[in-house]
Chains A and B, each alone.
Chain A
Amino acid sequence: ETGVTQTPRHLVMGMTNKKSLKCEQHLGHNAMYWYKQSAKKPLELMFVYNFKEQTENNSVPSRFSPECPNSSHLFLHLHTLQPEDSALYLCASSQEVLAGRTGELFFGEGSRLTVL
């Protein structure tokens, strides 16, 4: 138990569906992240939120839409995805002490997404 909970753990969706991934952290951290992990590729950072403000969007297609209503919750809204978007989506949180420096990340167990 890392203190970061992701739901659902598994999701199968068609290309025309709309679904959302949810992440909740119980650690009091001020930064939250979405990463994408595909087979045979390094983890790709998608979005970063610091104190609920989006500080990074790593050229992610608009079919992925993040939402951070408060510092404990992070969502990833999915719409008209492609089969190549099938991957493990990992949420993480951290306590940012110094601007521009990243400390230890605490990851959730991930949401395994399959797009048919």
Chain B
Amino acid sequence: SQQGEEDPQALSIQEGENATMNCSYKTSINNLQWYRQNSGRGLVHLILIRSNEREKHSGRLRVTLDTSKKSSSLLITASRAADTASYFCATDQETSGSRLTFGEGTQLTVNP
């Protein structure tokens, strides 16, 4: 299975609700990053959390990292229709050199 697996694969919520996406990985990491991709466009970096950090906030985004469970979560609070996109986690593995390994992503749909 993939390093950086997101869960769920798809999530549909109403505007104003919170959205939580999870990411699991298998090997030790330097950092974990979350990206967003609107349909057919490039990826946009959202947030980076280092292996010695447990939680990070950026606006309506909250990311947690549990290295003992090799998992991370991305919480988007008070979601908006404009948050509709695919969300990917990417891991910078300790032994990977200059590369990020991406998961398959979670497709988030926020209904107005």
**Taking beta carbons and an 8 Å cutoff, which residues of A are in contact with B?**
2, 4, 6, 31, 40-43, 45, 48, 50, 55-56, 58, 88, 90, 92, 96, 100-110, 112
Report chain A residues within 8 Å CB of B101: 42, 45
Task: Kindly provide the distance from the CB of A94 to the nearest chain B CB, expressed in whole angstroms.
Answer: 8
- Name B33-89 residues within 8 Å CB distance of A: 33, 35, 40-45, 48, 88
Given contacts A101-B30, A101-B92, A102-B92, contact A45 B99 (CB under 8 A): yes
Report chain A residues within 8 Å CB of B45: 104-106
Q: Is B25 an interface residue (CB 8 A)?
A: no
Q: Is B100 an interface residue (CB 8 A)?
A: yes
Contact A90 B97 (CB under 8 A): no
Q: Is B2 an interface residue (CB 8 A)?
A: yes
Given contacts A42-B104, A43-B88, contact A90 B40 (CB under 8 A): no
